[in-house]
């Protein structure tokens, strides 16, 4: 029996909501006649995912867009809980993952976990794993570079700074608190941290922290922030790389709807974002506790997750947009 998992998402845009409406055969949502806040419309399965005989999962969506998710977090929680319970009525699962703002509302997954008996994991461990490994691949080509971690006060930033420093790289963080107990330099803010650094790590969730003019000429930015860690377009000569892209093993099968979802969600046809595989790995491992929930994220947990994910054939992938990138 494959390990079963569930991944909960919301509409990333009005166009994405129409896709969810189409998938759920809901004409009012598909045609844009409803705004997605009706509690009984278009909550359901988007696609099935399979990793050979090892794991099988489903992506379920709620039609709330980002603004609707944020404006009433309790409403968003109720929708996500309903989606999870409906999915589990059809098929029990061993782990639940959260995508985009589903991983943010309700205390970064904590409130949803209080309502469900299955481990709920936010994807932060997987995101950190991909960002860490992708940054290492860049630093291997620039061994003398200092990596500036922007957003280091957050759980992902703090953990990635710790992991890079433990690997022996020179790291500078943008907040004094983030440097506490770590062998890293501390700078006063994102601009000061990025000054003169050839490698910049965008580790904040929402981005918009670093003015492009603060980047050194020829810098490489490895970024997981959405929409971008930069406050404007990248200057000429600066490379922007997706920090969260992951390549999948040959036995990965997202099916037709899964491929459509991957493209619409911005993954492209050849890769997924790391957070998607966190509940898969959790279900396969059969561990009863999430890798990441709330603000809690330990570097040791990221290392553990990395070993589990890589044993299943997943690998962080240096990418620019949809496509593989080389340094």
Partner 1 sequence: MTKAPYARISVDTFDSADPEVWGKVRTAFAEALGREEDEVELQHKIIEELDAESLDFLDIAFRLERAFDIKIPRGGIENTAKAGMGDEVYEIDGVLTDAAITRLREAMPEVDPAEFPAGLRVTEVAELFRVATFYNLVVHLLNEKAA
Interface positions with partner 1 (CB under 8 A): 70-74, 104-108, 111, 151, 153-155, 175, 177-178, 204-206, 294-296
């496509």: which residue's tokens?
323
Nearer to partner 1, 71 or 90 (CB): 71
Comparing CB distances to partner 1, the nearer of 76 and 84 is: 76
Residues 52/67, Cβ–Cβ less than 8 Å: no
What is the widest separation between alpha-carbon atoms in the chain?
57
Residue 69 CB, nearest approach to partner 1 (Å)? 9
Least gap, CB of 11 to partner 1 (angstroms) = 18
Q: Closest CB to partner 1 among 253 and 298?
A: 298
Q: Is residue 60 within 8 Å of 45, Cβ to Cβ?
A: yes
Q: Which two tokens stand for residue 284?
A: 């396969």
According to DSSP, the residues that pair with 252 across neighbouring strands are 51
8 A C-beta contact, residue 279 and residue 57: yes
**Closer by beta carbon to partner 1, 141 or else 295:** 295
Q: How far is the CB of 36 from partner 1 (least distance, A)?
A: 17
* Dist. CA 241–CA 318, nearest whole Å: 7
DSSP state string for 71-130: H-HHHHHHHHHHHHHHHHHHS--SEEEE-GGGGTHHHHTHHHHHH-SS-EE-SHHHHHHH
Please identify, using beta-carbon distances, which residue of 108 and 172 lies nearer to partner 1: 108
- Minimum CB separation from partner 1 for residue 202, in Å? 12
Taking the complex as a whole, the smallest distance from the CB of residue 99 to partner 1 amounts, in Å, to 15
């Amino acid at each position: 029996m494959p390990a079963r998992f569930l991944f909960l998402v919301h509409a990333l845009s009005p166009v994405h909501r129409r896709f969810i409406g189409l998938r759920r055969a809901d004409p009012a949502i598909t045609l844009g006649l409803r705004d997605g806040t009706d509690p009984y419309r278009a909550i359901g399965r988007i696609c099935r995912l399979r990793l050979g005989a090892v794991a099988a999962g489903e992506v379920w969506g709620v039609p709330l867009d980002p603004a609707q998710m944020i404006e009433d977090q309790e409403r968003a929680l109720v929708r996500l809980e309903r989606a999870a319970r409906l999915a589990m009525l059809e098929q029990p699962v061993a782990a639940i993952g959260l995508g985009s703002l589903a991983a943010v509302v309700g205390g970064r997954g904590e409130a949803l976990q209080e309502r469900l008996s299955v481990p709920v994991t936010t994807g932060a461990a997987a995101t950190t794993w991909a960002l860490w490994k992708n940054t290492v691949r860049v630093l291997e080509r620039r061994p003398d570079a200092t990596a500036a971690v922007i957003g280091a006060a957050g759980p992902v930033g703090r953990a990635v700074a710790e992991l890079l420093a433990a690997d022996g790289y020179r790291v500078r963080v943008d907040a004094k608190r983030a440097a506490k107990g770590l062998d890293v330099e501390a700078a006063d803010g994102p601009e000061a941290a990025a000054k003169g650094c050839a490698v910049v790590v965008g580790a904040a969730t929402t981005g918009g922290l670093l003015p492009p003019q603060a980047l050194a000429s020829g810098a490489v930015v490895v970024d997981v922030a959405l929409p971008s860690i930069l406050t404007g377009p990248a200057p000429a000569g600066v490379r922007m790389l997706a920090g969260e892209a992951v390549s999948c093993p040959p036995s990965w099968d997202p099916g037709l709807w899964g491929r459509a979802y991957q493209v619409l969600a911005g993954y492209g046809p050849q890769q997924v974002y790391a957070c998607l595989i966190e509940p898969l790995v959790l279900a396969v491992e059969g561990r009863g506790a999430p890798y990441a929930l709330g603000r809690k994220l330990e570097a040791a947990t990221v290392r553990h997750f990395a070993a589990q994910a890589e044993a299943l054939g997943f690998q962080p992938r240096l990418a620019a947009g949809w496509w593989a990138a080389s340094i």
